[in-house]
Chain A
Amino acid sequence: MRGWRRLLWPRLAQGLVSPPLTDAPPVPPEELVQALVARLEAASQARLGRSLAIRQVDAGSCNGCELEINAMQSVIYDLERFGLRFVASPRHADVLLVTGPLTRNMREALLHTAECMPEPKWVVAAGDCAVDGGVFKDSYAVEGGIDAVLPVDLLIPGCPPTPTQLLEGMLALLEAQRVG
């Protein structure tokens, strides 16, 4: 029966017996976790739970960083097993994950998004551009890195950072909350 091969169910059933596609979890570097713990303590910040809701904002990226953030959501990295998930509304978010050099045209939208988030929150600048403006830092249209307008808790350099590097950063936030 040819029709049988076209069905989805047999393919889904295969998934039950074949090994998972997902990679082993990366381990965040200890120094990074300690630095984040120190930050938490210095701010005597109320602790978030054991999961994190992430709101991503592209504040001027070339979209390379978005590609890798999307890749991090694929089955290979499977964020949700760590209690990490992307949310649509900043009002539901614990983490603001920002990419791109901050363009002047995005400044207001980024600040609005940040203001909508409940405290406590983490702000993460992902990608060389978000760290300090990257190659775009000298432009009339760019404010600089994300820290030009928001206090940043974690920098994830790279052009773009790989999904593994991004995941490591997110796990470091979780770990800091656990031990902090």
Chain B
Amino acid sequence: MSEALLRLVRHGQEQGCRPYQRYLLDRGQWAALIAAIGEDEAVALLGLWADPAQVHAALMLGETILIASCTVPEGRFAAFSPVQPGAVRFERMIRDLWGHVAEGGIDQRPWLDHGRWPLTGPLAAQPAPNAMPPPQPVFLPVEGQGVHQIPVGPVHAGVIEPGHFRFHVQGEAVVRLEARLGYLHKGHIGLMLGKPALVAARFAARLSGDSTVAHSWAFAQGVEAALGLEPSPRALALRALMAELERLHNHLNDWGFLCNDAAFAWLHARAGALREAVLRAAATAFGHRLMMDRILPGGVTDDLTPQGAAAILAALDAVEAELPQLDAVYDSHASLADRMIGTGVIAPSLVRRFAAGGVVGRASGRAFDARHRPGYAPYATLEPRVSTAGDVDARARLRMTEMGDSIRLARGLMAALPPGELALPLPQRAGEGLGLVEGFRGECLHWVALDDGGLLRAAFPRDPSWLHWPLLEAAMEGNILADFPLINKSVNASYSGVDL
């Protein structure tokens, strides 16, 4: 069980990551870890990434979070993917960015690298120049009578992010969906490296714009942990206020768009109007509608003015007053029930296996919410909301429920804003930290390593969508093609967040 696994990892050398320790394993220990995980249902792989010399796996074993690392002599390491299917895309990404090969990995195709960069292994110690023409992408084959392919994207019909979807269909039913992403690869990590934490924060804020608050906070948490810095209670409360407003406006957006994709335009229109009220309140209170760049390592940039507080309260009142009515309309229309219920089911066992967080995980019975466990200030007691149906309807309803919670949390935070410094200066020293913050999609994880001068030596921002994309593919199986927009929206994974 997990106990044995924990002992195994703790045999490695401590690397001083805070608040979750990182252990450097030798190749034998790393292989033993993978073998042990194979039998253990309770292990969740939160992320897998690399630097020029090592690979790192963030694991959650029951209640314990830790990082296991291994060196990569000759650019090779033993793959996680044979025992953890969620590792597949991480391993493909590691090969594309750092050039390390996952030995025994179950999928060796490129992921982010479409063959269009001027170099290969851009984050490797020595990137190689690339002058080859871009290769044709290869998709997993499907065999069967009457199976045909439908390619969609990267440019889609609506205002959404680009990605390619390859559907194999038999009649109307989807036999397999495979997503090909990477179109938005901007070289995020490369841009963060070598920069002071305050400058790198601008990139964390732009990993996935809809989660700018959550990612900024998780990055700040990582940096603060690395430096042993404790932001003031006031800064933490203001961060949480912004995070709840972000959750609220995104849940409103997703819920409205879900109704729209089921051709119920009125609910979408109302949700859009309420969302706009929240964004305007955020602009009044924090000077930016999406609250971008308001959270920095050390604290926050702005205090809440009385005028800002009044604007937020008015917006919360408006949303709170209308949500029950919208919910009642949702509930009472067979046309919505017909589209939502039983559509795009994600099995609880899959959610556990892929360690999917956020609404996607909780709607399929995985009671994980980073605000609750491991938990962080200023959140005190918070029980994750869970449902078990795992269909589009469950994900829509959970968003509705969580909106109510966010409104209550935001009110509570404003009613008792503690005193304290807005921002603390960052000491200039080395350190390593991991931040974990619950965004509207799920937990945002940021690993940061600073050198003696306080510059980023290594970093990895992991959007929760890494663990959602494979589940979207699973959710489509056996559903009709026409339900794809609805199912896709119900998962709403970020493209930019995983394209890095």
Contact = CB atoms under 8 A, between A and B. Distances in A.
A138 B186 contact: no
A8 B496 contact: no
B332 A105 contact: no
A51 interface: no
B122 A140 contact: yes
B161 A135 contact: no
A74 B273 contact: yes
Nearest to B122: A140
A70 B159 contact: yes
Interface in A44-81: 56-71, 73-76
B209 A135 contact: no
Interface in B457-496: 494-496
Contact of A64 (B160, B182, B212, B329): B212
B331 interface: yes
Q: Classify the secondary structure of B's interface with A.
A: loop
Contact of B290 (A6, A67, A109): A67
Interface string A99-139: 01101111111101100000000000000000000011011
B333 interface: yes
B310 interface: no
B287 to A, nearest CB: 12
B236 to A, nearest CB: 24
B119 A140 contact: yes
A140 B117 contact: yes
A135 B206 contact: yes
A136 B118 CA distance: 16
B187 A140 contact: yes
Contacts of A7: 332
B225 interface: no
Interface in B103-145: 114, 116-119, 122
Contacts of A152: none
A6 B333 CA distance: 9
Contact of A103 (B183, B191, B207): B183
Nearest to A61: B496
A12 interface: yes
Nearest to A86: B159
Interface string B197-229: 000001100111110100000000000000000
B397 interface: no
Interface stretch (B10-18, B150-158, B362-370, B409-417): B150-158
Contacts of B190: 139-141
Contacts of A17: none
B289 interface: yes
Given A7-B332, A74-B273, A75-B272, A63 B161 contact: yes
B379 interface: no
Interface of B: 114, 116-119, 122, 154-155, 157-162, 182-187, 190-191, 202-203, 206-210, 212, 253, 266, 269, 272-273, 275-276, 279, 289-290, 292, 325, 328-329, 331-333, 494-496
5 contacts: A58-B159, A64-B212, A76-B273, A112-B155, A140-B190
Interface of A: 3, 5-8, 11-12, 21, 56-71, 73-76, 86, 88-90, 100-101, 103-110, 112-113, 135-136, 138-142, 159-160, 162
Given A57-B155, A101-B186, A104-B114, 19 more contacts: A8-B333, A57-B162, A60-B183, A60-B186, A61-B496, A64-B292, A66-B161, A67-B253, A70-B253, A74-B275, A74-B276, A75-B272, A76-B273, A88-B157, A103-B185, A106-B184, A108-B116, A109-B162, A141-B122
